[in-house]
Structures are given as C-alpha cells and as structure tokens.
Amino acid sequence: MDTSERFQTILSAIASASGLQDLSDVIHTVRAPFGVANIVYHAVRIPQAEQPNPLLLLTYDLEWVRRYTERNYFQIDPIVRSGRQGFLPLDWSNVDKETPIARGFFSEADKFGVGRQGVTMPIRGPAGERALFTVTSNASDAEWSKTRLAYMREFLLVGHFFHDRAVELAGFRPPSRKLNLSPREKECLSKIARGDVPKRIASELKLSTNAVQIYLQNARTKLGCSSVAEAAAKALFLELIDV
C-alpha cells in the first residue's frame, strides 16, 4: 500500500467512527502499517468542557497511562508543556531533557515503551480548542532523521482530522454541515490534502501563489477552521474533496 492509499485508509476509518472507542481503535489498528511505536491524541483544552485535558485517546501501555494521570504528569511533561505553547511540529530531540525532572520523567516513560523518538503536532481548533497529536518511534537517531519529516507531513493532516472528529463525537461541537466551496477552493484544498504546498499548487494550476493563498484562506473561513490544514481535513470529512 503506497502513502496515498495508506493516508486515505486512515482518514476513511476516522470518518466512519461512530464513537470515541472507534477512534481509539483506529489509532491502535494503524500503528503497525505506519511503523510507529505509539500514537497519542491529547485534547489539552476545550472551552465547552468543564475539566482540563478532557480527551485522551492513545496506544500507550495502560499502566503508564494510569501512573501519568494519577501523578498529574500533565504538569511536568516537557512535551506537553512545550507543545501547548507552540504552533509548529515539535521534534522530541529538540526538547531539553537534561533537567532533573525531565531526566526522571523520560527515564520512567522509557520503561513503559513510550518510544525513544517522537514528533508532536499542536492543533488549534476553530472554537479555541488546544490539542496535541503525537507519533512516537523506537528508530535509531539515523533512521529517525530520515523518517521524521515524512511523519510530520502525513500525521499533521491526520491529527487535525482526528481532532475535528473527536471533538464532534464527544459532543463538544455540533455536527458539521456541508458548505459551498468554489471549484478552485476545492481544487486547492485537495492538493493541500495530498501534501502539496501553495507554490507548487500555483505552478500546477497556472495561477499566482497569491491567488492560491486567497482560495485557501477563503475555504478556511467558510469551513470555520483555524488553519488551512484543518480546512483540508474537514473538507475531506465532509466529502467536499477527495485525495
């Protein structure tokens, strides 16, 4: 199965989920095909929820999850602390692990097979939600340097799509309604969903980069999304576009 087919398979599975348990099953199922150690979706903040960290769907060892939540490691986890403040994908190798607290935390996490390497994608939802989507690996440093960018590209869009579906299934967002996107807006979003960038899209469609940016931002606004990546994920979910 090539990357495009693999990508479409996971998006279809997310779209077909009828409950949060189904979404949890999706990430458990796709770990092996994607060659990753663990996948984690962590909603840090949802304004409509009464408590912090309202959604946590993951493939970690259940004993680690129990220890993590009981000891409130949300407050000391360097990945969570960095990720909830940032906007760009966070490679774990760039996180400071040398403080005594960080060394102790990562040493304990390693005992439960969390993964030696990882990348965390911050997600910003249209209603002020804050979430993190993480993929971990046990690859060597050399292997990780070759694969991490591919993981970032593939899982950034998956993460936004997963978040949109999780928030909806949890009852924190009304069901999505189909919206009227123009043919050009759909075309540009479809190419974003395939991993293209605006400059390349402009070249393929014989448009200016500025025109492509306008189409993408118009689509983002119509879909009520905080980013173009989220708009592409939402358009796929609503079956307004395909890849």
Residues of the chain with CATH 3.30.450.80: 3-169
**pLDDT, tens digit (0-9, with 9 covering 90-100), for 171-217:** 987 655 556 899 999 999 999 988 899 999 999 999 999 999 999 99
User: In 3-state terms, what secondary structure has residue 72?
Assistant: coil
**Looking at residues 23-48, what average pLDDT do you find?**
92
User: In 3-state terms, what secondary structure has residue 164?
Assistant: helix
Proportion of the chain above pLDDT 90, given as a percent: 56
**pLDDT, tens digit (0-9, with 9 covering 90-100), for 64-91:** 999 999 999 999 999 999 888 888 899 9
Of residues 147 and 187, which shows the higher confidence score?
A: 187
Residues of the chain with CATH 1.10.10.10: 183-237
Mean pLDDT of all residues belonging to the chain = 89
Which numeric CATH code is attached to 3-169? 3.30.450.80
**Looking at residues 223-232, what average pLDDT do you find?**
84
CATH of 183-237, one of 2.40.30.170, 3.40.630.30, 3.40.640.10, 1.10.10.10: 1.10.10.10
